Amino acid sequence: MPEHFTKNTLECTAWCEHCGRMTQHAVSNGRRGRCLEHEAAQFSKKQLARRERLSKQDQNPTLF
């Protein structure tokens, strides 16, 4: 059963799959959120691939 928190709760201690240990997690709207110990990915893999593709196009523009 999922754990719910009060509205005043800002963070809790929970197991983090990424870190592999108990860490502090943000609490949002009464539910446990992201881990506060490591940096969350700023962009998705799809966004990173698109940015890389566009930068390569800028370096090597098409002739026609």
C-alpha distances (whole Å) from 47 to each of 14, 50, 51, 57, 64 are: 29, 5, 6, 15, 27
- Residue 32's domain comprises 11-59
Q: pLDDT-derived band of residue 14, with 50, 70 and 90 as boundaries?
A: very high
The answer to whether position 1 is within a domain reads no
The answer to whether position 15 is within a domain reads yes
Contact between 12 and 27 (Cβ < 8 Å): yes
The answer to whether position 53 is within a domain reads yes
- Residue tagged 């990173």 (tokens): 48
The total of structural domains in the chain comes to 1
The bridge status of strand 31-35 relative to strand 21-28 is: antiparallel
Tokens for 11, please give them: 């963070």
The answer to whether position 5 is within a domain reads no
Q: pLDDT-derived band of residue 55, with 50, 70 and 90 as boundaries?
A: confident
The answer to whether position 23 is within a domain reads yes
